[in-house]
């Protein structure tokens, strides 16, 4: 018989992973497989491989030192390179010793949740929230998530007052809340949170004595007019800086999701010691660490790559947004990330979670478009879906056309 | 404040990892650093890099498909290649779908322990046992280890009767024992367990209704006269086959410890589902999986590599054993693995754990030789140490000379 932890995990198969592999097994192609699945469900940056391939080839084959034991929380070389990359973006000097490298951002989130929470303790998440938080933050750690529902009328903008209210109510109910977890830019909505809003959220976290898990894995994938502001920026975190733990990785900003390299930053010596101990169970191949160290070792290449990636993401977003408008599909304006938060509530058979699931089934099975429903993001109102646009424009267009047709159909 | 799990892990820093990095920071070199640390503490195969380097270079730079999301329990290509490698060695057909690939054998052991045990439940281990079992099997899972003390007079040979007695006593004490964990070839002793002994151990496991964790990470590193027999061999596992879960990895047999690729095999569908769910938190870089798939894709190269590796290990062992004999240091005869179990009890200031620790301190700090003391392997009698010989012969000789001097010194 399985352990309780195992039974809980087996019961909660991550929806994102399952839909992704089903859609990828029979992918749409304009000429070769026009009836295939259009996968707009996976937050994958497929716009930059042409830039990466020559640079990765340049790194050359693995050397002996790339294949030997390294410190299990990341090689000093990779941590130094990541510190140099993230410091300017986070607007604060990063000590490489405050970084812990683990096998994916999922593992980094799991490490933080496990370090901070005993089973049954809680993490508050503004909703809609990154769907995999259910597994990443709560799956192994045994923590539980408490959504703080944002308001549809503001396009689900981050609202510090709601966060404060949920924290207060949870404490009133006797729940031990240990952390607040926020994605910035937000996933799924695509907002870059303004500095004053983040400042106020961190003030609320401090007031309620909770740590902050700042998931900034899209930190370099910002293309809107407003500048990105990090939760680790001292002007934002202020007195609470040692309680703000940053998450980053190579999956999104560098379009290398298979490499499973996540990074965690903390200035709390206890959390750092715990994270290093937990990293023992999820280390990264030294080969891959060496490859990424060499990827980052030319600052000019990195600057140009990130600039071009942002430019392509901005174009991809603008093109998808225009198609959605043409198709009569409302969406929230995005400043960053790979996704668009679209409103299909006008087509719900019923304004209920069941109605949303019914619509999702029609879209996935009949229209063969993979867009994830609001339910998996804990969205407070049914009918919203996440559409990922960072893939080739023809595929995105085919998906939007199919969605527009669903929206126009009489049921 | 940290969670209970985190506090427990921080308190238990793995001794192997700490001593390794201290010794590696100032390594012995015959001419450049003759006073440096002789690291014979790490079970590392440093005899085969010349064979690996050209083959790894042959794999070429990463392709786009090597960097995208793959199934988180291992790519189908790598699982098929590993199944083809292990099937003949385990003398049973391996279904690649029964394999789960995770970031290191540590992670594979943690996954199994977490799948099988609730916190506080127990795993019985014949002692002396692989030192990292304390962390790997018990650290995150919260399981606890119960050593079954083997007998010094037989050279700590695996004794099914003692295993049965410990299982019976634990149950009598009301402890829920969920598994038995055995290394084969044994680490630290280096025994290849005879088929009839393994059969009897598995009969005992069946009688007591416990699963078996068969850690066969050294399965191809056998150089003695007796053939390796796997616990997964149907002639051994018999009726208990679905309760025997195998562990393997690339760290030892292929001398690639930095790549952190562990493999778990199970035919129990519940354990497999749990292992796949847990693999989500410790996936392996798709780049490294592609590299290893290409490493294995030439069966002739693999056969020749393993043959030559075994030959070099056998020579390295024979040379170290002869030096030990010359130095008056008794040891248990080994058939496989990278280590020799040596008896320094003649030099203990006291025949106690404290005496052993005192001797270890002298060896590590004064003689500057890193060999791990029996205490970290749960050895029933003080004074035994593990010496790893799979590195260049000059370094091993320098280490044995220093040990012999310690043995000859008056205290």
* pLDDT digit string, tens, across residues B90-100: 999 999 999 99
Radius of gyration of chain B (CA): 21
Contact A256 B67 (CB under 8 A): yes
Cα distance between residue A78 and residue A295, in whole Å:
10
Q: Which residues of A touch B273 (CB under 8 A)?
A: 10
Closest CA to A317 of A18, A3, A71, A43: A43
Closest CA to A142 of A113, A166, A165, A170: A113
Name the minimum distance, in Å, from the CA of A401 to any CA of chain B. Answer: 26
The per-residue b/e assignment along B171-197, b for 16 or more CB within 10 angstroms, e otherwise, is eeeebebbbbbbbbbbbbbbbbbebeb
Comparing CB atoms, the residue among A56, A118, A280 nearest residue B62 is A56
Identical fold, B4-50+302-408 and B62-297: no
Name the minimum distance, in Å, from the CA of B224 to any CA of chain A. Answer: 26
Q: Give residue-wise pLDDT tens across range B280-289.
A: 999 999 999 9
Give chain A's end-to-end CA distance (angstroms, integer).
46
Cα distance between residue B281 and residue B107, in whole Å:
9
Closest CA to A291 of A247, A246, A256: A256
Q: What is the pLDDT of residue A134?
A: 94
Contact B72 A256 (CB under 8 A): no
Kindly state the average pLDDT of the residues B218-222. Answer: 98
Cα distance between residue B156 and residue B158, in whole Å:
6
What number of other Cβ atoms are within 10 A of residue A171's Cβ? 15
A62-298: CATH topology: 3.40.640
Instruction: Return the bridge partners of B386, or none.
Output: B341, B372
B4-50+302-408: CATH topology: 3.90.1150
Domain B62-297 -> CATH class:
alpha beta
Q: What is the pLDDT of residue A411?
A: 54
Q: What is the pLDDT of residue A13?
A: 63
Longest dimension (CA), chain A: 64
Instruction: Return the bridge partners of A102, or none.
Output: A262
Q: Is the pLDDT of residue B34 over 60?
A: yes
User: Token digits for B321?
Assistant: 């054993």
Q: What is the pLDDT of residue B238?
A: 92
ipTM of this model? 0.95
Comparing CB atoms, the residue among B69, B121, B280 nearest residue A44 is B69
3-class secondary structure, B343: strand
Q: What is the pLDDT of residue A16?
A: 54
The answer for B 159-178 residues in CB contact with A (under 8 A) is: none
> Where are the strands (E) in A4-59, listed by range?
38-39
Per-residue pLDDT of chain A (411 residues; tens, 9 = 90+): 899 999 998 887 655 567 777 888 899 999 999 999 999 998 989 999 999 999 998 888 888 888 888 889 999 999 999 999 999 999 999 999 999 999 999 999 999 999 999 999 999 999 999 999 999 999 999 999 999 999 999 999 999 999 999 999 999 999 999 999 999 999 999 999 999 999 999 999 999 999 999 999 999 999 999 899 999 999 999 999 999 999 999 999 999 999 999 999 999 999 999 999 999 999 999 999 999 999 999 999 999 999 999 999 999 999 999 999 999 999 999 999 999 999 999 999 999 999 999 999 899 989 999 999 999 999 999 999 999 999 999 999 999 999 999 988 765
3-class secondary structure, B355: helix
A148 lies within 8 A of chain B by CB: no
Q: Which residues of A touch B133 (CB under 8 A)?
A: none
Q: What is the pLDDT of residue B1?
A: 83
Closest CA to A384 of A403, A367, A409: A403
Q: Give residue-wise pLDDT tens across range B231-285.
A: 999 999 999 999 999 999 999 999 999 999 999 999 999 999 999 999 999 999 9
Q: What is the pLDDT of residue B411?
A: 54
Q: Is the pLDDT of residue B14 over 80?
A: no
The answer for A 176-235 residues in CB contact with B (under 8 A) is: none
B15 lies within 8 A of chain A by CB: no
Cα distance between residue A185 and residue A199, in whole Å:
15
Q: Give residue-wise pLDDT tens across range B369-391.
A: 999 999 999 999 999 999 999 99
The answer for B 288-307 residues in CB contact with A (under 8 A) is: 288, 291
Contact B10 A280 (CB under 8 A): no
Contact B281 A282 (CB under 8 A): yes
Q: Which residues of B touch A19 (CB under 8 A)?
A: none
Kindly state the average pLDDT of the residues B335-343. Answer: 98
Comparing CB atoms, the residue among B140, B274, B280 nearest residue A14 is B280
Q: Is the pLDDT of residue B13 over 80?
A: no
Contact A60 B61 (CB under 8 A): yes
Q: Which residues of B touch A101 (CB under 8 A)?
A: none
Q: What is the pLDDT of residue B377?
A: 96
Q: What is the pLDDT of residue B11?
A: 85
> What is the pLDDT of chain B when averaged over all its residues?
95
Q: What is the pLDDT of residue A184?
A: 96
Q: What is the pLDDT of residue A58?
A: 84
Q: Which residue of A has its CA nearest to B113?
A: A3
Give chain B's end-to-end CA distance (angstroms, integer).
46
A14 lies within 8 A of chain B by CB: yes
Instruction: Return the bridge partners of A215, or none.
Output: A183, A247
- Residue A308 phi/psi, 5° resolution? -70, -40
Q: Which residue ranges make up each domain of chain A?
A: 4-50+302-408, 62-298
User: What are the helix and strand counts (H, E) for chain A?
Assistant: 14, 12
Name the residue with tokens 């040379």: B319
A139 lies within 8 A of chain B by CB: yes
**How many residues does this entry show for chain B?**
411
Contact B44 A69 (CB under 8 A): yes
Q: Give residue-wise pLDDT tens across range B170-191.
A: 999 999 999 999 999 999 999 9
Q: Are strands B384-388 and A144-149 parallel, antiparallel or unpaired?
A: unpaired
3-class secondary structure, A373: strand
Task: Reduce the secondary structure of A13-32 to three states and give it as a string.
Answer: CCHHHHHHHHHHCCECECCC
Q: Which helix (H) or strand (E) holds A293?
A: helix A286-296
Cα distance between residue A386 and residue A383, in whole Å:
10
């Amino acid at each position: 018989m399985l352990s309780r932890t195992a039974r809980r995990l087996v019961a909660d198969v991550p929806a994102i992973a399952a839909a992704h592999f089903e859609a990828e097994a029979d992918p749409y192609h304009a000429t070769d497989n026009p009836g295939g699945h259009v996968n707009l469900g996976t937050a994958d940056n497929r716009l930059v491989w042409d830039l990466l391939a020559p640079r990765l080839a340049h790194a050359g084959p693995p050397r002996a030192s790339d294949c030997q034991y390294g410190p299990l929380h990341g090689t000093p070389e990779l941590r130094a390179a990541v510190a140099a990359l993230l410091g300017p973006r986070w607007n604060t000097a990063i000590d490489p010793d405050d970084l812990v490298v683990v096998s994916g951002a999922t593992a980094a989130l799991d490490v933080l949740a496990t370090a901070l929470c005993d089973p049954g303790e809680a993490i508050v998440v503004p909703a809609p929230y990154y769907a995999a938080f259910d597994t990443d933050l709560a799956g192994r750690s045994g923590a539980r998530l408490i959504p703080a529902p944002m308001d549809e009328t503001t396009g689900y903008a981050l609202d510090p007052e709601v966060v404060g209210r949920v924290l207060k109510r949870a404490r009133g109910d006797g729940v031990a809340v240990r952390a607040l977890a926020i994605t910035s830019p937000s996933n799924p909505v695509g907002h870059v949170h303004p500095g004053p809003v983040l400042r106020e959220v961190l003030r609320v976290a401090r007031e309620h004595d909770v740590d902050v898990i700042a998931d900034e894995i899209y930190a370099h994938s910002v293309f809107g007019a407003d500048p990105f502001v990090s939760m680790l920026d001292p002007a934002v975190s202020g007195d609470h800086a040692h309680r703000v733990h940053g998450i980053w990785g190579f999956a999104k900003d560098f379009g290398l999701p298979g490499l499973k390299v996540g990074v965690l930053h903390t200035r709390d010596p206890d959390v750092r010691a715990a994270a290093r101990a937990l990293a023992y169970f999820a280390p990264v191949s030294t080969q891959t660490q060496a490859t990424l160290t060499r990827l980052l070792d030319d600052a000019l290449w990195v600057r140009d790559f990130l600039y071009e990636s942002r430019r392509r993401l901005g174009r991809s977003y603008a093109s998808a947004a225009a198609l959605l408008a043409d198709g009569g599909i409302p969406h929230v304006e995005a400043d960053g990330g790979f996704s668009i938060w679209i409103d299909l509530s006008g087509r719900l058979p019923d304004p209920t979670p069941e109605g949303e699931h019914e619509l999702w089934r029609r879209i996935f099975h009949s229209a063969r478009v993979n867009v994830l429903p609001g339910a998996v993001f804990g969205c407070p109102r049914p009918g919203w879906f996440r559409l990922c646009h960072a893939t080739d424009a023809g595929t995105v267009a085919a998906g939007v056309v199919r969605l527009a047709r669903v929206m126009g159909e009489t049921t």
